[in-house]
Amino acid sequence: MAWCPFAQRLELQPESDQQPAIRPTQFILHSLAAPWTAQRIYEYWQTSSLESHFGLGYDGDLGQYIGTETRADANYQANRRPDGTGAVSIETASNLQHTDPWTDRQVEQLIRLGVWLHQRHGIPLRICRSASDPGYGYHRLHAAWSSGGTACPGDARVRQFKNVVFPGIVARASGQSQEDPMPTVINETQQGGPALEAGKYKQLAMANDAALLQGPCSYSATTYATVKGQAGTRITMRFYDYHLTTEHRSYDLPIDCGTIGANGILNVAVTRNGLLDTNEVLRVEILADRPATVTWRVLRALRWSS
C-alpha cells in the first residue's frame, strides 16, 4: 500500500484492508457535486459503499482514504480490471452542479499528486487513449469508467484538465531532464471568408478545413482575420474543442476583438494554447453584431505531437 507523503492519511476501514490489490496504471479526476473538505468527504465515504483514493477540498486540503495499491470504487470498470491493473481516483470539491472550475489551490494539488503518481507508480505522461490505456483522465473521458454515463467533472474542469492540469503534470514531471521535441510550424493563409449575419456565430475554417488542428497534440495557435463592415460593428471570436466521435463541443469564453474602424476594416487575432485528445479538433467561430464579411484568414501555430 502506498500513501502519498503530502496527503493527510484518513484511512477508510474496512475497505482499506478488505478490498483487493491493484497495480495503479491510471489517474482519474472527479468532481464531487458538493463543496466539501477532504475531512467531510472521508466522513461521507464511511456511510457509502463507494469511495475514492483521494479527496480534495477547495482550499487544497488533500486527504487519502485508501492506499494507491488497493482498489477504490469510483470508476466502475476501471476500479480493478481482470489483469489486476486499476485506476487511482480523486474526488474534488465543487458546486452542487459541478459547473465551477477548480480553484488555484486545487489545481496545484492535482498537479503535485499527478507528478507523485508518475514517479511512484510509473503512470505514463499521456491522456488515456482508451478505457484501459495507462495514463491520466477525467471521469467522463471513457464510457467504461461510469455506469450509465456521467458529465463529471464538468465542462470547466475538463478544459482546465486539458489546458492547465495535465500540461502542468507533464511539465513538472519532465523537469529539465527531457528536452522539448521540435514542434511542427503551421502557417496557412486564405483569401476570402464567410459572410457574417448579425448576431450569429459562424465557423471560421482555415485551408478549407473546419478544424484548425487535430489531436493528439499540444499547440500554441493564433488565428488572424480581416473583417469588413460598417464602422462600429463589434467582432467577437471564440475557440472550441470538438470531439469527432461524441460530437461534444467544449467552448472557451468569447474573446472581444473590438470594433470595425472608420475605414470599414478590422484586423483581429486570437490565441489559444492547449491540448487535444485523439479524435478531438480545435475550431474557432466569429461573430459580428451587424452584417460583415471576412476577407482574409491566417492560421499560425506550433504543434507538438503527443
296 vs 306: CA distance, rounded Å: 31
Our CB check for Zn ion shows the closer of 150 and 293 to be 150
Our CB check for Zn ion shows the closer of 139 and 157 to be 139
Please tell me the count of residues contacting Zn ion according to CB under 5 A: 3
The nearest distance, CB 233 to Zn ion, in angstroms, is 43
Strand (E) or helix (H) holding 105? helix 104-121
Our CB check for Zn ion shows the closer of 138 and 239 to be 138
Site string for Zn ion, 16-55 (x = CB under 5 A): --------------x-------------------------
Per CB under 5 A, does 140 bind Zn ion? no
Per CB under 5 A, does 139 bind Zn ion? yes
The nearest distance, CB 127 to Zn ion, in angstroms, is 16
Give the other-Cβ count within 10 Å of 77's Cβ: 17
The nearest distance, CB 34 to Zn ion, in angstroms, is 12
Our CB check for Zn ion shows the closer of 66 and 260 to be 66
Number of helices and strands (H, E) in the chain?
5, 17
The nearest distance, CB 53 to Zn ion, in angstroms, is 13
The correct pick among 90, 152, 286, 294 for binding Zn ion (CB under 5 A) is 152
Task: Kindly calculate the radius of gyration of the chain based on its CA atoms and give it in whole angstroms.
Answer: 22
Our CB check for Zn ion shows the closer of 152 and 217 to be 152
Query: CB of 146 within 8 A of CB of 176?
Result: no
* Residue that the C-alpha cell 502519498 belongs to: 4
The nearest distance, CB 109 to Zn ion, in angstroms, is 17
* Residue that the C-alpha cell 483581429 belongs to: 268
Read off the C-alpha cell for 243: 470531439
Considering only CA atoms, which of 188, 213, 198 is closest in space to residue 299?
Answer: 188
- According to DSSP, the residues that pair with 31 across neighbouring strands are 92
Binding site for Zn ion (CB under 5 A): 30, 139, 152
